[in-house]
Amino acid sequence: MLDMFEHKIKTYAFVGPSGTGKSYRAQMVANENGIKYIIDDGLLICENEVLAGISAKKAPTKIETVRNALFSDEEQRKEIKRVIKKNKPDSILILGTSDEMVKRIAENLSLLPIEKIIYITDVATEEEIKMAKNIRVTQGKHVIPVPTFAIKKDFSGFLLDPLQIFKSTGKGKTPYISEKTIIRPTFSYLGNFEISDIVFKQIIECVATKVDGIYKIPRIIIKKHDGYNDGIYIYLEPIIEYGFSVNETMITLKKLIKKEIEKLTAMNVLNMEIVIKSVHYEKK
């Protein structure tokens, strides 16, 4: 139903084949057309914030990727529509690989017919498009037009790289910083990747050597969450040095382990249980 929104929302589209750099240039195109809201691969984005949706890049198969991008799931559609209705945007930019795809997305979200379509060839040179395709094929990298911090909690286990670019919008216009995130999605031509439990244990052991009051950690158990790469649970039995505050030492240890694991592996630490079973006393 096109009349579900109380006000009219101008609908624009940004179209180009997969891997040609649409998401990379999405903010630029939106900014040049005075648009704050972007729909890209299952996400509703406003400037630097993901407002709703599930990224198609998290889907385990290509079929699911397409379904998510088209908002084929009823619950997913309802959530996006609810947020659109709440925020009342003046306009929305839909990203897609074809005219038919963006029209389908607009229909599924009960938006008005698209009044303007911008093509990747309008904003990128042939050489730039060729380079983007090469990176997609050889490195399996995709771009999401939001900062890494905005999506990291939702992309546990994915390879994330921040990308910050200084943009100029033309003579007399205010330049801006375009922040994006490069990811290696679940479904990739390069296949899936796994992080061994040994990696997590080695990181924890390394961190322990930097914390005053920790003698060693003889027992470390890593358990991965049942959901696909949602994160890990950690169980530790450290031996603490005599004379150190148990509470302060454990707080420091827990904080550093979480920080290093999430930084080095991109996996979320969902929970960490620490049980102290012994104290090391150095005889003098």
pLDDT tens digits, 209-235: 999 999 999 999 998 765 545 678 999
Same domain, 25 and 111: yes
pLDDT of residue 275: 95
Out of 44-53, 106-115, 195-204, the most confident range is 106-115
Confirm whether 189 is domain-assigned.
no
pLDDT of residue 101: 94
Domain boundary among 136, 153, 184: 184
Same domain, 168 and 207: no
Confirm whether 220 is domain-assigned.
yes
CATH number, residue 203: 3.30.70.1350
pLDDT of residue 214: 95
Per-residue pLDDT tens digits for 137-168: 555 555 545 443 344 445 444 444 444 444 44
Report the C-alpha dihedral over residues 16, 19, 20, 25, rounded to 10 degrees.
90
Same domain, 203 and 178: no
Same domain, 99 and 233: no
Same domain, 9 and 128: yes
* Domain interval for residue 33: 2-184
pLDDT for residue 111 is more than 90: yes
Residues in the chain: 284
pLDDT for residue 12 is more than 90: yes
**Considering the entire predicted model, what is its pTM?**
0.54
Same domain, 269 and 154: no
Per-residue pLDDT tens digits for 120-131: 999 888 888 887
pLDDT for residue 26 is more than 90: no
